[in-house]
Structure 1
Amino acid sequence: MLWLLAHNNERLLGHGAVAREVWRLYFHWYGVLSQGAFPAHDTLWQYPPGAGAVLLAPGLLPGLSYFQAFVALTLATDALITAALVRAGTRPGRTLLGAALWTGALPLLLHLPLARYDVAVTAFAVLSLLALGRATRACGALAALGALVKVWPALVLLGVGRGRTTRSAWTWAAATGAAVLSVFLLSFRNPLAFLRQQGGRGVQVESLGGTALSLARHAGWRGTTRYRYGAMELVGPHVHAVATASLALTAAAFALLLLWRVRARRWTEATPYDAALSAVLLFTVTSRVISPQYLIWLLGLTAVCLTSRHTTQRPVAALIVTATALSSVAYPTFYAEVVHGTWTGCLLMLARNGLLAGAAVLSLTRLWRATRRPRTAVRTAPGPAAQPGRPLTAAAPGSLRGDRG
Structure 2
Amino acid sequence: MMSLMSLMRHPRAALAAVWFATRALMLWLLTLRGWDAVGREVWQLYHHWYGVLAHGAYPVRDTLWQYPPGAGPLLLSPALLPGLTYFQAFVTLTLAADAAVAVALTRAGTRPGRTLLGACVWIGGLPLLLHLPLARYDVQVTALAVLALLASTRSTRACGALAALGALVKVWPVLLLTGLPRGRATRSAWTAAAVTGTTVLALLVTLFDHPFAFLRQQGGRGVQIESFGGTLLALARHAGWPGRVRYRYGALEYTGPYVSAVAHASLALTVVALGLVLLWRARARRWGEATPYDAALSAVLLFTVTSRVISPQYMIWLLGLAAVCLTSQHTTQRPVAALVVAASAVSAVVFPVLYDEVAAATWTGCALMVLRNGLLGVAAVLSFIRVWRSTTAPRPLAGVRTPEPERLLH
Regarding TM over 0.5, the answer is yes
Name the aligned partner's letter for residue 290 of structure 1: I
SS of 1:234's partner is: strand
Aligned to 2:131: 111
> How far has the Cα of 1:267 moved from its partner?
0.3
Aligned to 1:2: 27
- Tell me the alpha carbon deviations over residues 56-83 of structure 1, each in whole angstroms, 9 at most, x when there is no partner: 0001212100000000000000000001
- Tell me the alpha carbon deviations over residues 160-189 of structure 1, each in whole angstroms, 9 at most, x when there is no partner: 112111110010001110110000111100
Q: Distance in 2 between matches of 1:279 and 1:343?
A: 32
Q: Distance in 2 between matches of 1:57 and 1:26?
A: 11
Contact 2:102 2:119 in 1 (8 A): yes
> How far has the Cα of 1:373 moved from its partner?
3.5
Q: How does 1:90-169 map to 2 (within 5 A)?
A: 90-169=110-189
* TM-score normalised per structure 1: 0.91
Name the aligned partner's letter for residue 192 of structure 1: F
SS of 2:245's partner is: strand
Q: How does 1:368-379 map to 2 (within 5 A)?
A: 368-374=388-394
Gaps of 5+ in 1: 10-14, 379-405
Q: CA RMSD in A?
A: 1.1
Contact 2:117 2:327 in 1 (8 A): yes
> How far has the Cα of 1:195 moved from its partner?
0.6
Q: Distance in 2 between matches of 1:60 and 1:305?
A: 33
Name the aligned partner's letter for residue 191 of structure 2: T
Aligned to 2:87: 67
Q: Distance in 2 between matches of 1:272 and 1:377?
A: 24
Q: Distance in 1 between matches of 2:358 and 2:196?
A: 41
SS of 1:158's partner is: helix
Larger radius of gyration: 1
Name the aligned partner's letter for residue 32 of structure 2: H
Aligned to 1:384: none
Q: What fraction of aligned residue pairs are identical, expressed as a percent? A: 72
Aligned to 1:299: 319
Name the aligned partner's letter for residue 341 of structure 2: V
Q: Distance in 2 between matches of 1:132 and 1:162?
A: 13
Aligned to 1:315: 335
Q: How does 1:223-242 map to 2 (within 5 A)?
A: 223-242=243-262
Aligned to 1:46: 66
Aligned to 2:51: 31
Q: Answer yes or no: is 1:16 the counterpart of 2:41.
A: no
Runs of 4 or more off by more than 4 Å in structure 1? 375-378
> How far has the Cα of 1:376 moved from its partner?
6.7
Aligned to 2:77: 57
Aligned to 1:180: 200
Q: Distance in 2 between matches of 1:113 and 1:375?
A: 43
Q: Distance in 2 between matches of 1:269 and 1:306?
A: 12
- With over 3 angstroms needed to count, the CA separation of the structure-2 counterparts of 1:307 and 1:377, relative to structure 1, is closer
SS of 1:261's partner is: helix
Name the aligned partner's letter for residue 48 of structure 1: P
- Tell me the alpha carbon deviations over residues 234-273 of structure 1, each in whole angstroms, 9 at most, x when there is no partner: 0000000000000000000000100000000010010000
Name the aligned partner's letter for residue 57 of structure 2: A
* TM-score normalised per structure 2: 0.90
Name the aligned partner's letter for residue 150 of structure 1: K
Q: Distance in 1 between matches of 2:397 and 2:207?
A: 61
Q: How does 1:336-351 map to 2 (within 5 A)?
A: 336-351=356-371
> How far has the Cα of 1:377 moved from its partner?
6.6
Q: Answer yes or no: is 1:366 the counterpart of 2:386.
A: yes
Gaps of 5+ in 2: 1-25, 399-410
Q: Distance in 2 between matches of 1:229 and 1:114?
A: 22
Aligned to 1:191: 211
Name the aligned partner's letter for residue 29 of structure 2: L
